[in-house]
Amino acid sequence: MQNHPYIRSIGILTFMAAFVFSAHPSTLWAQSDVSELIDASANGDLTRVKSLIADKVDVNGTPSSGIDRPTALIMASNYGRIDVVKELLASGAKVNARDRGAQTALMRAAPTPDLKLIAEINAKLASDPNYKLLQEPSASGRLDIVKILLAAGADVNARDMRGDTALMGAASSGNIDAVRALIAAGADVNIVDKAGFTAKTLSRGHPEVIAMLLASGATDSKDELEQKDTNRIMLFAMIAGFIAIGLKIWLIVDRVKRAKLART
């Protein structure tokens, strides 16, 4: 006797559910609690964070879905929630934990947030009911978080998937105080990322940061040296071209003058 397709479907679903819950009996609840801890950390809700930690929620847990899947400490550092950062570290949060982009809490804390850009994005998309407004990070206290993370053993030269370091993030955003703190902690000013950029390359537009990096031993990367050589060659070619054009014009004018003189 052949089973009805509906009965077979129910049987398959029952088997799958039994497999999931027998292998991971508390997965759904744990994931929900971890996500709540991460959200509370991002929002700076210290009371809720303490409550969840007291309930034994994994402070190093990550979401089961999402793009970057950060830990609570990474999000607290990203949004400048200094009290939450302290609480998480005191509760066993791993200071060098990484998200799926290989970024650490230190990498998230070092750059100065672009609050103007976040406000512009939110203003443009606020009318969309399906759009979740971007949270506004705290611009203050970020240097303190950088120092706290470094004191807790953060790897100052850790690199993300693009090869970038916390120093590169701080330099590119012009956060000179974070740049100073990272260099003092031993940041390598000459690390080159996968695109061939250094902290100095990325700090264009921030002359005070460039000056500090140079004073700390920053040099041009191979790509930068090659670009400078290319620029010199192009400059010489342009000069040679202008000279050639000028000479040609002079010869034409001289020929015209000689022709006029020959007629007279």
| Ramachandran assignment for 137, one of left (phi > 0), alpha (psi -120 to 50 degrees), beta (any other) | beta
Q: Answer with the one of 155, 180, 199 that is the final residue of a domain.
A: 155
> How many other CB atoms are found less than 10 A from the CB of residue 7?
10
pLDDT, position 37:
96
Please indicate, yes or no, whether residues 12 and 97 belong to a single structural domain of this protein. Answer: yes
pLDDT, position 231:
55
pLDDT, position 190:
96
Please indicate, yes or no, whether residues 110 and 231 belong to a single structural domain of this protein. Answer: no
Q: 196 lies in a domain?
A: no
Q: Answer with the one of 155, 173, 206 that is the final residue of a domain.
A: 155
Number of structural domains in the chain: 2
pLDDT, position 26:
45
Specify burial of residue 110 (Cβ count, 10 A radius: 0-12, 13-18, 19+). Answer: buried
Please indicate, yes or no, whether residues 45 and 144 belong to a single structural domain of this protein. Answer: yes
Q: Can you tell me the distance from the alpha carbon of 63 to that of 80, in angstroms, rounded to the nearest whole number?
A: 20
Contacts within 8 Å (CB) and 24+ apart, 52-59: 53/87, 53/88, 53/91, 57/30, 57/33, 58/30, 58/33, 58/34, 59/88, 59/91, 59/92, 59/93
Q: 242 lies in a domain?
A: yes
Q: What's the average pLDDT block by block, 10 residues per block, for the chain (264 residues)?
A: 40 36 44 91 95 96 88 95 97 97 96 81 74 67 94 98 97 95 97 95 94 94 55 66 79 75 70
Q: State percent of the chain over pLDDT 90.
A: 56
Determine contact, residues 97/74, Cβ cutoff 8 Å. Answer: yes
CA distances from 186 to 32, 207, 217 (A): 39, 21, 12
Domain residues for the domain of 50 are 5-155
Which residues in 118-143 are b (16+ Cβ under 10 Å) and which e?
eeeeeeeeeeeeeeeeeeebeeeebb
Please indicate, yes or no, whether residues 150 and 245 belong to a single structural domain of this protein. Answer: no
Which domain CATH number covers 9?
A: 1.25.40.20
pLDDT, position 234:
65
pLDDT, position 40:
95
Please indicate, yes or no, whether residues 237 and 116 belong to a single structural domain of this protein. Answer: no
Determine contact, residues 81/44, Cβ cutoff 8 Å. Answer: yes
Q: 171 lies in a domain?
A: no
pTM over 0.75: no
Q: State percent of the chain over pLDDT 70.
A: 78
Q: Can you tell me the distance from the alpha carbon of 60 to that of 175, in angstroms, rounded to the nearest whole number?
A: 28
Determine contact, residues 199/169, Cβ cutoff 8 Å. Answer: no
Q: Can you tell me the distance from the alpha carbon of 191 to that of 171, in angstroms, rounded to the nearest whole number?
A: 13
pLDDT, position 5:
40
Determine contact, residues 210/200, Cβ cutoff 8 Å. Answer: yes
Please indicate, yes or no, whether residues 99 and 230 belong to a single structural domain of this protein. Answer: no
